[in-house]
Structure 1
Amino acid sequence: MSARNIIRSLSGALPDRRGVAAIELAFTLPVLTFLSLGAFDVARMLSAQIDYQQAAAEVASLALARPPQSDTAYLKQAAMSASGLTEDKVTVATSLTCNGTASNSSCASGQEQARYVIVTLNGQYAPLWTHFGVSQTINLDVVRKVRYQ
């Protein structure tokens, strides 16, 4: 078969575009699948972060409604309940400032005092898809500070 005959037989197949879409889909489908898995993982991480932020906001609201005198255990318990975190991942502390300066004791008379509750949640997110992209756990830390007095 000569080159002229080969070109003539192939020229009839060039205008035929049947099956092109299937071939293009075969090339793009793996890429789209990986992008979808990554987007799903990022959405789950953002959802967990928002859950922790909402839990910290609930505890801050509770501290405003029922200010702690000295014991913050009920606030810590509320934070653990709202966030689903364990005791070692939740910290609730109080602080005092006198005229804008941190203090460990009571303020002298005439000084402006402010009391705060600081809620710290140390969550983590472990991605489901670790083969590509993020392959380690991500810290989702939330700190909420509210003045109650």
Structure 2
Amino acid sequence: MMRQLASFARLRCNEDGSMAIETAFVAPILLVLALGGFEVSSMVARQTELQTAAAEAATVVRATIPETVEQQNTVRDILVTSTGLTAEQVTITPIYRCGTAQDYVTVADSCGSDAEYKFIRVDLRDTYAPVWTKFGVTSGFDFNIRRTVQIG
């Protein structure tokens, strides 16, 4: 009986393999944290890139005042080139505000006798799918960036 107690005491004091067990518990948590940090930084970087592109578009619109469809398409092409988006993901739309109204309209004639103010609306749309969506954890999300620039 004493021998069994002595061998149990020796076994209890043996620390061989304890580091492997601790690593087995901690490594997956650290891996998930690192992956999450990388994905969040990628999301923030893409959001910043799209915001910068929208600011660039506002500057181009103020400088050129795109009146025709061809000029609007040129602004769209600049955004497509600088962001890597497709032409379907970038929209340049002329809109109007009648007098002191808060809402925008797409047809200038709907203002009637009120003063009409012309704007260009720039919409950028993109979808981001983090790596964990491949494992069925949540889904991707959409970036929707909108800038409205008064031109007249």
Shorter-chain TM-score tier: 0.7 to 0.9
- Unaligned residue ranges in structure 2 (runs of 5+): none
1:144 maps to amino acid: R
> Which has the larger share of helix?
2
User: After superposition, what is the alpha-carbon deviation per residue over 1:109-131, rounded to whole angstroms, capped at 9, x for unaligned?
Assistant: 7x544221111111111323321
**Whole-Å separation in 2 of the counterparts to 1:100 and 1:60:** 23
Q: Pick from 125, 134, 137 the counterpart of residue 133 of structure 1.
A: 137
The farther-off stretch of 21-30 and 82-91 is 21-30
Give secondary structure in 2 for the equivalent of 1:12: helix
8 Å CA contact 2:108, 2:116 repeated in 1: no
Q: Which residue does 1:147 correspond to in 2?
A: 150
**Whole-Å separation in 2 of the counterparts to 1:27 and 1:18:** 16
Instruction: Note the 1:44-59 alignment, pairs <5 A.
Output: 44-59=42-57
2:73 maps to amino acid: A
1:84 counterpart = 2:87: no
**Whole-Å separation in 2 of the counterparts to 1:24 and 1:131:** 26
Q: Give the CA deviation at 1:15.
A: 4.2
User: After superposition, what is the alpha-carbon deviation per residue over 1:15-71, rounded to whole angstroms, capped at 9, x for unaligned?
Assistant: 454543332122110221122222222222222222111111110111111112233
**Whole-Å separation in 2 of the counterparts to 1:56 and 1:26:** 46
Residue identity over aligned pairs, in percent, reads 28
**Whole-Å separation in 2 of the counterparts to 1:100 and 1:81:** 37
1:97 maps to amino acid: R
Q: Give the CA deviation at 1:108.
A: 6.5
Q: Which residue does 2:122 correspond to in 1?
A: 119
Q: Which residue does 1:70 correspond to in 2?
A: 68
1:78 maps to amino acid: I
Q: Which residue does 1:98 correspond to in 2?
A: 98
2:30 maps to amino acid: L
Provide the aligned C-alpha RMSD in A: 2.4
